Amino acid sequence: MGRRKKEPRSVHRENIASAASELFLEKGIAAVSMDDIAKAAGYSKATLYVYFENKEEIISILVLESMKKLYGHIVSALAQQESTKARYDSICSGLVQYQEEFPFYFKMVLDKINIDFENRDYLPEEKETYQVGEEINEKIKDFLICGMEKGDLRNDLEIMPTILHFWGMLSGIIQLGANKEEYIRKLTGLSKRQFLEYGFSMLYCSIEAEKQRG
């Protein structure tokens, strides 16, 4: 423990957050106590409270980390391709990769984003998470506008509703594929990958310009 005390505060917080992440994935957030996190991280409960005030603060750190990872996946996906369809396919592939590598984070991104910064107290990480999310939305906005200007996407798309539907549909398809892989295979005969590709294609057709479909 003596050597531990000499380590930077950030190292302790990272160790604790990592242990909490594994517990949350295994048991669910509600079922995990600060006692559980302390034991898993190898700290006393008293020491744990030196680095985090409560479980909510740990969650906020994990959500922020997840949003930064997601932002990195989106930026990378958009930078790898030039055509609208190829960029769309790359976004979808990046999101699938993100969900497969960080399933807990993927779910947290969908569930735990606070938007009320005026009527309640909030942690600094919560606001930063929101800001990263807005940066992601800006990337998708640029993708949509660029596709519309090229004539690849419908010119009547309303940007913000489209972005929200975009996220809802893509994340829903990906989460369903992850949760119901065996059921989908038995019901449709499609592998998880085939099911996802079919869903992604349907979504793209809904925003594609008519002349492109023709």
CATH number for the domain harbouring residue 43: 1.10.10.60
Q: Which of these three, 52, 72, 90, is where a domain ends? A: 52
pTM over 0.85: no
**Average pLDDT score over residue span 108-121:** 62
What confidence score (pLDDT) does residue 116 get?
59
**CA-to-CA separations, 174 to 25, 82, 113, 192, 193, in angstroms, rounded:** 18, 24, 19, 9, 10
Pair (59, 47) in one structural domain: no
Pair (74, 150) in one structural domain: yes
**Average pLDDT score over residue span 114-133:** 74
Domain count, the chain: 2
d(C-alpha 43, C-alpha 40), whole Å:
8
Pair (90, 139) in one structural domain: yes
Pair (47, 69) in one structural domain: no
Pair (68, 15) in one structural domain: no
Pair (40, 93) in one structural domain: no
Q: Which of these three, 52, 76, 94, is where a domain ends? A: 52
**Average pLDDT score over residue span 28-41:** 92
Assign 49 a pLDDT band (cuts: 50, 70, 90): very high
Assign 182 a pLDDT band (cuts: 50, 70, 90): very high
Q: What is the DSSP string of 20-64?
A: HHHHHHHH-STT--HHHHHHHHT--HHHHHHH-SSHHHHHHHHHH
d(C-alpha 183, C-alpha 174), whole Å:
14
pLDDT one-digit tens code per residue, 148-162? 999 999 999 999 999
4 pLDDT exceeds 60?
no
For 127-131, 183-187, 209-213, which range has the lowest pLDDT when averaged over its residues?
Answer: 209-213
103 pLDDT exceeds 70?
yes
Pair (79, 137) in one structural domain: yes
Pair (83, 188) in one structural domain: yes
Residue 153's domain comprises: 55-213
| Contact assessment for residue 23 and residue 37, using Cβ atoms and an 8 Å cutoff | yes
Pair (68, 38) in one structural domain: no
Percent above pLDDT 70 for the chain:
90
At 132, which CATH number?
Answer: 1.10.357.10
113 pLDDT exceeds 90?
no
What confidence score (pLDDT) does residue 64 get?
87
What confidence score (pLDDT) does residue 202 get?
95
Pair (89, 154) in one structural domain: yes
Pair (81, 125) in one structural domain: yes
38 pLDDT exceeds 90?
yes
Q: Which of these three, 17, 32, 52, is where a domain ends? A: 52
30 pLDDT exceeds 90?
no
Pair (86, 174) in one structural domain: yes
